[in-house]
Amino acid sequence: MDGMSLDSKIAARLKRNPEGLVPAIAQQFDTGEVLMLAWMNDEALHRTLTTGRATYWSRSRGEFWVKGDTSGHVQHVKAVALDCDGDTVLVKVDQVGAACHTGDRTCFDADQLQIPLG
């Protein structure tokens, strides 16, 4: 990358899990649709902020992945925010194609859980 690291003020606010990761929620910037959840470490967040492409850390593969590099389903980053506790990142994106690896638009539309009425 550019040889730089995550801004120290941002890094100081992050509350990471024991593996050094924070959950990152990808949301469609104009509709508010929740697309997916992935994980970021400091470098993935830095890459996201500096390239404008959503970059995550793959826990299963142990490597960075830029959303869309293999699938073509790119996430163009429009805004990034930390929650009030600094333990979750919200990445507002313009999603091209499917966000989910299954080919669905979002990772949350296939398995709706039933809630009892009353």
pLDDT band at 2 (very low <50, low <70, confident <90, very high): very low
pLDDT per position as a tens digit, 99-113: 998 899 999 887 777
Residues forming a β-bridge with 12? none
Dist. CA 96–CA 113, nearest whole Å: 27
The owner of tokens 């507002």 is 92
pLDDT per position as a tens digit, 33-64: 999 999 999 999 999 999 999 999 999 999 99
Identify the CA nearest to 54 among candidates 31, 79, 33, 34.
Answer: 79
pLDDT confidence of residue 3: 52
pLDDT confidence of residue 109: 81
pLDDT band at 24 (very low <50, low <70, confident <90, very high): very high
pTM: 0.89
pLDDT per position as a tens digit, 59-81: 999 999 999 999 999 999 999 99
What residue ranges define each of the domains in the chain, with the CATH number in brackets?
A: 8-95 (3.10.20.810)
Check the CA dihedral 27-28-30-33 and report its sign. Answer: negative
pLDDT band at 118 (very low <50, low <70, confident <90, very high): low
Residues 26 and 54: beta-carbon distance below 8 Å: yes
One-letter amino acid of 60: S
